């Protein structure tokens, strides 16, 4: 029993890929969804699709690396729905493989602000409400790349490795407030990011965003209550 009807979820990076698939999958379960990302037309399109399905959705333009944006996102969610039960920290960016000696500080800082600081900010401001409610679910989207380093994969893989540890830290604080916090580590998935970075790479053996979304739906449901502070690899069967 998933027991998700009328829950309220915030999905960052919700305009495309895994975020979009998760927003739609949760809406099908009766969740009221806040779709957040920097690109307004994309999140409005997702919200409209959910509303056309008969669900409830709100699009909020948000840059997760900016504290004022995150505060605004959470405030608007509370104003609209009076609570927040689910947070999926999915927003992330990447750069083409590059030697660390050629990597600029601006590239490092930009990626870390979104991939890691963004998760900190969203968790900080959402967790306050979940602690007051004494309930909630947070899922952080890391990557199988966070499990190991690789040539030319700085700073993306370090940001995803740090996210696994950050999840464990948040989970240790949230446990006494009945808030579950877990990480997923997807392998290669057919997203716009992958297509932009690796235009010549075959997608035939990759997972679809819906495959990952299905795991997230499970993790935010009552069925996954026993999972806490876990990092779960999602690699498909190919």
Q: Which residues are identified as catalytic?
A: 156
Distance, in Å, from the CA atom of 169 to the CA atom of 164, rounded to the nearest integer, reads: 9
CB distance 90 to 13 below 8 Å: yes
Cβ-count burial of 160 within 10 angstroms (0-12 exposed, 13-18 middle, 19+ buried)?
buried
Distance, in Å, from the CA atom of 28 to the CA atom of 25, rounded to the nearest integer, reads: 5
- The pair of structure tokens assigned to 226 is 């026993």
Straight-line distance from the first to the last Cα atom of the chain, in angstroms, rounded to the nearest whole number: 29
Cβ-count burial of 98 within 10 angstroms (0-12 exposed, 13-18 middle, 19+ buried)?
middle
Distance, in Å, from the CA atom of 231 to the CA atom of 207, rounded to the nearest integer, reads: 18
Helical H segments across the chain, by residue range: 17-28, 40-52, 67-81, 105-112, 118-133, 156-174, 192-197, 209-219
Residues in the chain: 238
């Amino acid at each position: 029993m998933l027991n998700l009807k009328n829950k309220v979820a915030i999905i960052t990076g919700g305009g495309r890929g895994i975020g979009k698939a998760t927003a739609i999958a949760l809406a099908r379960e009766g969740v009221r969804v806040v779709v957040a990302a920097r690109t307004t037309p994309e999140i409005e399109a997702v919200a409209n699709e959910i509303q056309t399905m008969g669900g409830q959705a709100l699009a909020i333009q948000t840059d997760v690396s900016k504290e004022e944006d995150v505060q605004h996102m959470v405030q608007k969610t509370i104003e609209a729905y009076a609570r927040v039960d689910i947070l999926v920290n999915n927003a992330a960016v990447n750069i083409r493989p590059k030697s660390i000696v050629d990597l600029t500080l601006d590239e490092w800082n930009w990626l870390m602000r979104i991939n890691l600081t963004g998760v900190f900010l969203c968790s900080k401001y959402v967790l306050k409400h979940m602690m007051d409610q004494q309930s909630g679910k947070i899922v952080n989207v890391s990557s199988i790349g966070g499990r190991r380093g690789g040539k030319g994969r700085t700073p993306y893989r370090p940001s995803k490795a740090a996210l696994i540890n950050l999840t464990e830290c948040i989970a240790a604080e949230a446990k006494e407030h009945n808030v579950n916090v877990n990480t997923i580590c997807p392998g290669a998935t057919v997203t716009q990011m992958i297509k932009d970075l690796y235009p010549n790479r075959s997608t035939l053996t990759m997972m679809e965003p819906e495959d990952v979304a299905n795991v997230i739906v499970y993790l935010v449901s009552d069925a996954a209550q026993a999972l806490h502070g876990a990092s779960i690899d999602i690699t498909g069967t190919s």
